[in-house]
Structure 1
Amino acid sequence: MGEITNIMEYQVIAKQKLPKMVYDYYASGAEDEWTLKENREAFSRILFRPRILIDVSKIDMTTTVLGFKISMPIMVAPTAMQKMAHPDGEYATARASSAAGTIMTLSSWATSSVEEVVSTGPGIRFFQLYVYKDRKVVEQLVRRAERAGFKAIALTVDTPRLGRREADIKNRFVLPPHLTLKNFEGLDLGKMDQANDSGLASYVAGQIDRTLSWKDVKWLQSITSMPILVKGVITAEDARLAVHSGAAGIIVSNHGARQLDYVPATISALEEVVHAAAGRIPVYLDGGVRRGTDVFKALALGAAGVFVGRPVVMALAAEGEAGVRNLLRMLREEFELTMALSGCTSLAEITRSHVITETDRLRPTPRL
């Protein structure tokens, strides 16, 4: 395999190892995939303003998320059906996240149940929730997650319908027959069967509640004591509504560019959301993070932390648990190096003045 020197290299290996249908499911975006490319390219247009001659012999990357202390502001985003990538699936991701001292978010559509993930050992875990038409199923699932020791709900709000993922349509995507969506096993919810296009799109059309609205955040609060993060906010208007609804935090996300194409990259939408939240609740970023430099840029623009999704399943496909451990280690080391070279010894020292965005470059520079 040769030495892996950055996390993007795992995607090359995953493409070689995985069946085409599975790789395409993980890697593809919606329609023209403009937002998929933009999620990465927008980071490349943000430049650094590093400060020098600062003692950076000791660097502290620890932070707290909803009151839980973690080793770094880099967390694992929910990605579905991880046993398609590797037989250990979510078990491996849970163990690797725990070893790294960070948070794993388990997908509703995991191929391991909430109870199975908890059986891997201690760790701080959040649960990503899709709201089904049958609200009793949702209540049951939320209560199971809470009983199992999950600490928060990440409510996905950008998927009343599944985005048009043309690779899945071409491949007639369906969950491999030896796997199931474990959290829904034994429930009469229909199966992700072969369809005329994407089996997942047909499943979502049949099961997911399109009537979901802001009042349902209150409904969720009535059935659980877990804090609720609203995942899928990319505008100031919705950020203010999230605060008003009593959300514990916001995750700026465009669903890995898999829903509506031609929405901005999450890093481009971040500042608007941060300004609207106005410090009342924390704002996190999900999407496009591939380097420690990306983590620093997100924090400089106001994020309290970042979630990493696609790279985790690529590392999992390439090397199982060891791959995910290595991925989290590399991101941590790159982030620490970026802090040192920017003159920051703690997260609190990372400020807006450490970066220049495209908007900044368009403003006239005052004469000194």
Structure 2
Amino acid sequence: MEITNVSEYEAIAKQKLPKMIYDYFASGAEDQWTFKENKEAFSRILFRPRILIDVSTIDMTTTILGFKISMLIMIAPSAMQKMAHPAGEYATARAASAADTIMTLSSFATTSVEEVASTGPGTRFFQLYVLKDRNVVAQLVRGAEGAGFKAVVLTVDTPRLGRREADIKNRSLCILFSSCPSYPHA
């Protein structure tokens, strides 16, 4: 079957992934309000057609923090990718490199910064949550820097994770954060 849109990817993921894992990736927190708002906001983005103009030399390159990328699309941090596929972040890093764009590796990745760096050339950023234990934070930054990551993407909006209702029902994050139903993060 040829996949032609994002909804079809979602349907295949729902069919192939165990319910707990699908729910983790496909849901949000607190009645999924932001999740729904983001979907609605993206649905309002329209492309303005340009008719009868020369499109033989289109250049979509841009720079982010001085790093040239092929298009104004980057890969945002997404945790625990190996739950969905054995290659996890390793495959995502290879895809970002092939597309000549930037990947931001999640603090909660299932692939190490060293493994991601071993995928070959590419500009990579590292997402960092500021944890209570500043020694752990410093180790994470040093590790990313040592692996050649070019920037730290500081995430400051989660001193406590939101109540992810699907995860509470599945008890899926209880193992990771040693607490249910709310998951202390910092």
In structure 2, the residue matched to 1:73 is 72
- Describe the superposition over 1:102-141 as per-residue Cα deviations: whole angstroms up to 9, x where unpaired: 1111001111111111112111100000111111111111
Secondary structure (helix, strand or coil) at the match of 1:59 reads: coil
Alpha-carbon shift at residue 48 of structure 1 (Å)? 5.2
Q: CA RMSD in A?
A: 1.9
Distance 1:193 1:158, change over 3 A: closer
Q: What residue number does 1:192 align with?
A: 176
CA change 1:47–1:115 in 2 (3 A) is closer
The separation in 1 between residues aligned to 2:48 and 2:181, in whole angstroms, is: 48
Task: Give the 3-state SS of the residue equivalent to 1:115 in structure 2.
Answer: helix
1:223-234 alignment runs, 5 A limit: none
- Give the Cα separation in 1 of the matches to 2:128 and 2:101: 20
Q: Distance in 2 between matches of 1:117 and 1:49?
A: 37
The match for 1:107 is 106
Which SS does the other structure have where 1:137 is aligned? Answer: helix
Instruction: Tell me what 2:40 maps to.
Output: 41
- 2:55 alignment counterpart: 56
Q: Which protein is bigger by CA-based radius of gyration?
A: 1
**1:35, CA displacement in angstroms?**
2.4
| Alpha-carbon contact 2:80-2:108 (below 8 Å) kept | yes
- In structure 2, relative to structure 1, the CA distance for the partners of 1:88 and 1:4 (3 Å cut) is same
Give the Cα separation in 1 of the matches to 2:24 and 2:89.
17
Q: Which residue type is aligned with residue 157 of structure 1?
A: V
> Structure 1 residue 69: deviation in Å?
1.1
Change (3 A) 1:60 1:28: same
Moved more, 27-36 or 142-151: 27-36
CA contact (8 A) 2:20 2:167 kept: yes
Is 1:163 the equivalent of 2:147?
no
Indicate whether 1:129 and 2:138 are aligned: no
SS in 2 for 1:90: helix
Query: CA 1:17/1:48 → structure 2, altered by over 3 Å: closer, same or farther?
Result: closer
Structure 1 residue 51, shift from structure 2 partner: 4.2
- The answer (yes or no) to whether the contact 2:163–2:181 under 8 Å persists in 1 is no
Q: Shift of the alpha carbon at 1:162?
A: 0.4
Which letter does structure 1 place at the counterpart of 2:94? R
The residue matched to 1:128 in structure 2 has which SS?
Answer: strand
**Counterpart in 1 of 2:4?**
5
- TM-score for both structures, normalised by structure 1: 0.48
> Within 2, Cα distance between the matches of 1:101 and 1:164?
36
- The one-letter code of the counterpart of 2:33 is W
Larger relative contact order, structure 1 or 2 (CA cutoff 8 Å, min sep 6): 1
- Give the partner amino acid of 2:163: R
Aligned partner of 1:102: which letter? Answer: T
Secondary structure of the equivalent of 1:192?
A: helix
TM-score, normalised via structure 2 length: 0.92
Q: CA deviation at 1:46?
A: 4.6
Name the CA distance, whole Å, in 2 between partners of 1:63 and 1:48: 18
CA deviation vs aligned residue, 1:18-65 (integer Å, no higher than 9, x gap)? 111111111101222232122121233355554433212221111111
Q: Secondary structure at 1:164's aligned position in 2?
A: coil
Q: Distance in 2 between matches of 1:49 and 1:101?
A: 25
1:285 alignment partner in structure 2: none
**Counterpart-to-counterpart distance in 1, 2:171 and 2:56:** 54
State the identity %: 77
Q: Secondary structure at the match of 1:22?
A: helix
Which whole-Å CA distance do the structure 2 matches of 1:27 and 1:161 have between them?
Answer: 20
SS in 2 for 1:32: helix
